[in-house]
Amino acid sequence: MKQKERQDTSVHNPLKKERDRSETSSQGRHAHIGGVKSSKSVPKAKADSSHETTSSSKNMEASESLTSTMNKMSLTGEAETSRDIKSRSARSKSNHKPEEWMLLDKESDILTQLNLAIVGHVDSGKSTLSGRLLHLLGRISQKQMHKFEKEAKLQGKGSFAYAWALDESAEERERGITMTVAVAYFNTKRHHVVLLDSPGHKDFVPNMIAGATQADAAILVVDASIGAFEAGFDNLKGQTREHARVLRGFGVEQVIVAVNKMDIVGYSKDRFDLIRQHVGSFLQSCRFKESSLTWVPLSAMENQNLVSAPSESRLSSWYQGPCLLDAVDSVNSPGRDVSKPLLMPICDVVRSNSHGQVSACGKLEAGAVRSGSKIMVMPSGEQGTVRSLERDSQGCTIARAGDNVAIALQGIDANQVMAGGVLCHPDYPVSVATHLELMVLVLEGATPILLGSQLEFHVHHAKEAATVVKLVAMLDPKTGEPTKKSPRCLTAKQSAMLEVSLHYPVCVETFSESRALGRVFLRSSGRTVAMGKVTRIIQDS
């Protein structure tokens, strides 16, 4: 990877931190900080597919051309038309018979990957909690921790030492807030956890959303201290509710509510119970099931109840439940769809300088590949084979669902491989569509969505210009049942079914078919206005 030139196809990139780290690590300049390391394949949020090389630091709010080269290519030239591709994609995936090598052997079966988002109101202690956890699990060395402590103290930010492991940029450290999603790794007995430490500040909700699109489960951090919980839970100014709604909108079901800073309230059971009662009834009103919620009182600062039972008697006297690490271990991972046909949304493309060789990077969402496997690049429909595979910059023989890899391709025109496209099994191409039915939640502060509204549609690493062509129904947020058919407009906090028409086709699946390819969000004028899932792919006549 070191010799390869990285071609940045990203225009805006809310998960910039991941990318920056990925670039530095691929250039060998920067050792990973503890467990925090790059992931070119825990994807940056969205990329368009223009050929120009653009800096990831480019303002993500900048207005962008939404017509993508990739999508145009799928409709022109020698590539098959989307109509051909659509009809071919009708072949039933249930016919797919995995070969033996695709299935998990015992060894790789031991740990399942769990993408875990850490969300919650600003300053609730998400980064401190993440940093502390990584340190306790040996992912941050004593030496590195001393360095953070010293530097943080020098800047008068002593209390942020653990957060500094995650908040790496000068601006984040100076302001004492997280701005972009940081990625870190640790293991529990059952899971290889990919931790996504998200920003809580309201200005960075789009970044939090981009992180949440990856989440299989989440830790919702709540600050227990007097006044802070109330501010974070406030209907208008707090982020706790919005973050919970975002998780639910993306179909995240399992949430660990970490009631943090219990040290400040003297580890009071009454305080914990009160918070549990308020947050619990709110989460149930968003259709989270009580049985999918775990409540863990803790103190990141005083290391209580993180990786072992609390030593503090004021807590252990009334709390006998799991510590945070055990709660994470108990989360059910979504399972690896190794026996389904291959699906890998392309998050990055690496082209070699000299040989015209091209590698597609991303996370396998379904299926498996090895050298020599036949693959198809969508939406262009080009077919080729896998030349070789790399995981964590090292060659590997097989990649299966859940793995983040770079796949070197053979026999494929490099120009047809774009971030936002999808690698798939040639017999089971991903759906390519322009007309979709979505179930969405309109976010706080969003301008109303009307029939004819022009929006940016985002799905996995693709984005496309969209027009709202039908407002189907408003939904009851508690039951999900339609309450009003054909509403005239949708305003903040409403749930609804609507139909969008995309200007050019994108690779997409329904959420029930593939969570990763069916989670979407809609943006307008640089703001995320709604998020949700694809409920139906509508074939245009």
Q: Which residues bind ligand GTP (CB under 6 A)?
A: 122-128, 159-160, 163, 176-178, 199-201, 260-261, 263-264, 299-301
Can you tell me the distance from the alpha carbon of 198 to that of 465, in angstroms, rounded to the nearest whole number? 27
Question: Smallest Cα–Cα separation from 508: which of 421, 417, 406, 425?
Answer: 421
Task: State the nearest-atom distance from the C-beta of 176 to ligand GTP, in Å.
Answer: 6
| Per CB under 5 A, 128 contacts Mg ion | no
| Joined tokens for residue 363 | 């996370």
224 close to 259: Cβ distance less than 8 angstroms: yes
76-105: contacts with Mg ion (CB under 5 A): none
CA-to-CA distance for 75 and 70, rounded, in angstroms? 9
HEC profile for 248-316?
HHCCCCEEEEEEECCCCCCCCHHHHHHHHHHHHHHHHHCCCCHHHEEEEECECCCCECCCCCCCCHHHH
Our CB check for Mg ion shows the closer of 126 and 523 to be 126
CB of 251 to Mg ion, least distance (A): 24
The CB-of-126 to Mg ion minimum distance in angstroms stands at: 5
Q: Is residue 234 within 8 Å of 196, Cβ to Cβ? A: no
Task: Considering only the stretches 174-182, 318-326, 329-337, 425-433, report the one whose residues sit in contact with Mg ion under the rule CB under 5 A.
Answer: 174-182
Residue 127 interacting with Mg ion (CB under 5 A): yes
Q: Report the nearest approach of ligand GTP to the CB of residue 126 (Å).
A: 4
Nearer to ligand GTP, 208 or 442 (CB): 208
What is the closest distance, in whole angstroms, from the C-beta atom of residue 178 to Mg ion in the complex? Answer: 3
| Residue 453 touches which member of Mg ion, ligand GTP, none, C-beta under 5-8 Å by kind | none
| 116 Rama class: left (phi>0) / alpha (psi -120 to 50) / beta | beta
* Residue 128 contact among Mg ion, ligand GTP, none, beta carbon within 5 to 8 Å by kind: ligand GTP
Residue 268 vs 357, nearer CB to ligand GTP = 268
What is the chain's percent helix, strand, coil content, to nearest 5? 25, 30, 45
- Residue 199 in tokens: 């920003």
Which candidate, 8, 5, 23, 18, places its Cα nearest to that of 58? 8
Q: How far is the CB of 446 from Mg ion (least distance, A)?
A: 24
159 binds, among ligand GTP, Mg ion, none (CB under 5 to 8 A by kind): ligand GTP
Mark residues 36-75: x for contact with Mg ion by CB under 5 A, - for none.
----------------------------------------
Among 19, 126, 336, 458, binds Mg ion (CB under 5 A): 126
Please report, as residue ranges, which positions from 350 to 409 form the binding site for Mg ion (by CB under 5 A): none
CB atoms within 10 A of CB 249: 24
Q: 367 contacts which partner out of Mg ion, ligand GTP, none, CB within 5 to 8 A by kind?
A: none
CB of 297 to Mg ion, least distance (A): 20
Opening angle at CA 220, ends 445 and 534, nearest 5:
60
Cβ atoms of 489 and 450 within 8 Å: the answer is: yes
**Which residue lies nearer to Mg ion by CB, 127 or 299?**
127
- Residue 327 CB, shortest distance to ligand GTP, in Å, is 16
Residue 137 or 502 with smaller CB distance to ligand GTP: 137
The site that binds Mg ion (CB under 5 A) totals a number of residues, namely: 3
- Which of Mg ion, ligand GTP, none does 246 bind, CB closer than 5 to 8 A by kind? none
Considering the rule CB under 5 A, would residue 173 count as an interface residue with Mg ion?
A: no
Which CB, 46 or 243, lies closer to ligand GTP? 243
Closer residue to ligand GTP (CB): 172 or 509: 172
Query: Helix or strand or coil: residue 531?
Result: strand
Q: How far is CA 357 from CA 3, 143, 268, 409, in A?
A: 12, 41, 61, 7
Residue 165 phi, psi dihedral angles, 5° rounding: -65, -30
Structure tokens, 515: 């969570």
Rounded to the nearest whole angstrom, what is the least distance from the CB of residue 263 to ligand GTP in the complex? 5
Asked if 239 touches Mg ion (CB under 5 A), the answer is: no
Q: CB of 122: closest distance to ligand GTP in angstroms?
A: 4
φ and ψ of 245, to 5 deg: -65, -40
19 touches Mg ion by CB under 5 A: no
Nearest residue to ligand GTP on Cβ basis: 200
Q: Which does residue 494 touch among Mg ion, ligand GTP, none (CB within 5 to 8 A, set by kind)? A: none
Q: Are the beta carbons of 216 and 356 closer than 8 angstroms?
A: no
Minimum CB–partner distance for residue 347 and ligand GTP (Å): 24
Cβ atoms within 10 A of the Cβ of 189, count?
11
Q: In angstroms, how far is CA 366 from the centroid of its own chain? A: 16
User: Considering beta carbons, is residue 224 or 409 the nearer one to ligand GTP?
Assistant: 224
Separation of first and last alpha carbons in the chain: 45
* The only residue of 22, 178, 299, 404 in contact with Mg ion, by rule CB under 5 A: 178
Return residues touching Mg ion (CB under 5 A): 126-127, 178
